[in-house]
Structure 1
């Protein structure tokens, strides 16, 4: 698993949350396949949902995901795990 310095992202069913739901070229960001995402979830990665409440209501969310009210501005200490070794998977729809 990767450290907090590396963000994991779902591909296939969701788009990247960093940079307004567009692909990132940052070397510490790894795009995951759906199968890799499922494995990360089973291994204890924390999923972070940056979709709007309306999108979640219509389309659902990953069970147990942390929900962000705003993907650009949120309280890291309140919403993300204290341990910096916890793997994180950020996801959002590319529809606004």
Structure 2
């Protein structure tokens, strides 16, 4: 049985699979399966929620995720972890 935080991860990534964020062509960006996302979370990856506040209020968010005020424009230095070695997992529903 999945813990609540794991269920939220599964839900968040199910929304990603169904709605989909725009795909990146950058070689360092990898699309994750739900199982890979859960494993990444357990290994200490930082999750970054790129959804709108309205979407979060209606659908929730992954517990502990960093919240972007705007997925297109945000101050990287003040929002994201300082270490470039920190794995990041961005997610969104693509419903605006």
Q: Which residue of 2 aligns with 1:13?
A: 15
Name structure 2 gaps, 5 residues minimum: 1-11
Q: CA deviation at 1:38?
A: 0.6
Q: CA deviation at 1:26?
A: 2.0
Deviations 1:12-40 (A, max 9, x none): 4316xxxxx31222221100001110111
CA distance in 1, matches of 2:36, 2:57: 25
TM-score, scaled relative to structure 1: 0.78
CA distance in 1, matches of 2:81, 2:24: 23
Structure 1 outlier segments of 4+, above 2 Å: 10-13
Identify the structure with the greater strand proportion. Answer: 1
TM-score, scaled relative to structure 2: 0.78
Greater Rg, structure 1 or structure 2? Answer: 2
Give the 3-state SS of the residue equivalent to 2:15 in structure 1.
Answer: coil
- Whether the 8 Å contact between 1:66 and 1:79 is mirrored in structure 2 is yes
Q: Confirm or deny that 1:46 pairs with 2:46.
A: yes
- Measured on the aligned residues, the alpha-carbon RMSD in Å equals 1.5
Paired residues, what number?
82
CA distance in 1, matches of 2:24, 2:76: 20
- Whether the 8 Å contact between 1:49 and 1:67 is mirrored in structure 2 is yes
- Whether the 8 Å contact between 2:15 and 2:92 is mirrored in structure 1 is no
